[in-house]
Amino acid sequence: MKRTIAYLSLLFILGVLLYVANPDYGLKFGPGGDDWKNLRYTDDYYITHGVEEVGGTNIVTDIVFDYRGYDTIGEATVLFTAIAGAVALTRPWRGDEQ
């Protein structure tokens, strides 16, 4: 019973996401022309001004280390946390050290 409901709701979510993925109602894929200016204005800005504002010729690194450098600090922290957590959980049990 529970399982049936779970599968039905998964099916429902899938349907909704497919509806949203339809360019007629929801997201547009590969926007070009006017759509590019309307939907991807931030990306357009990075591409136009990235080189002169940041100095790197690789737009992705310009964004990841300059415009959105704070997110990169966050990602580094996620990695650090994951390692600290994994090391903490794989340590020997109490009383097993010797």
Partner 1 sequence: MNAEAILPYLIIIPLFGAFSMPIVSLAGKKAREAWAVIISGATLVVASALFYHVWDTKEIIVYTLGAKTPFGQGVDFPIRIVWEVDLFSAIMALTVAFVSFVTVIYSIDYMKHDTGLDKYYTLILVLELGMLGIAITGDLFNFYVFLEIMSIASYALVAFRNDTWEGIEAGIKYMFVGSIASSFVLLGIALLYGQYGTLTMGYLAIKLLQNPTVTAKVALALFIAGLLFKSGAAPVHMWLADAHPAAPSSISAMLSGLVIKVGGIYALARILFSIYSPLGNKILEVYHQPYINMSAVGWVIIIFACLTLIIGNAMAVIQTDMKRLLAYSSVGQIGYILLGLGIGLTAYGSHTGEVALAGAIYHTVNHALMKALLFLVAGAVIHEVGTRNLNELSGLAKTMPKTTFAFLIGAAAIVGLPPLNGFASKWLIYESSAIYNPVLGAIAIIGTAFCTAAYVRVLYTFFGRPSEKIANAKDPETSMMLPMFLLVLAIVVMGLFPWQISDKVMIPAARMLEQFNFEYIKALISLAGGA
User: What residues make contact with partner 1 under the rule CB under 8 A?
Assistant: 16-17, 19-20, 25-27, 38-43, 45-46, 49, 53, 66-71, 73-75, 77-78, 80-82, 84-94, 96-97
**CA quadruple 74, 62, 45, 34: dihedral positive or negative?**
negative
Minimum gap (Å) between residue 74 Cβ and partner 1:
4
Tokens standing for residue 25: 């109602």
Pick the closer one to partner 1 by CB: 42 or 61.
42
* CA distances in angstroms from 72 to 26, 43, 54, 58, 94, listed in the order given: 30, 18, 16, 16, 36
- Closer to partner 1 by CB, 58 or 83: give it: 83
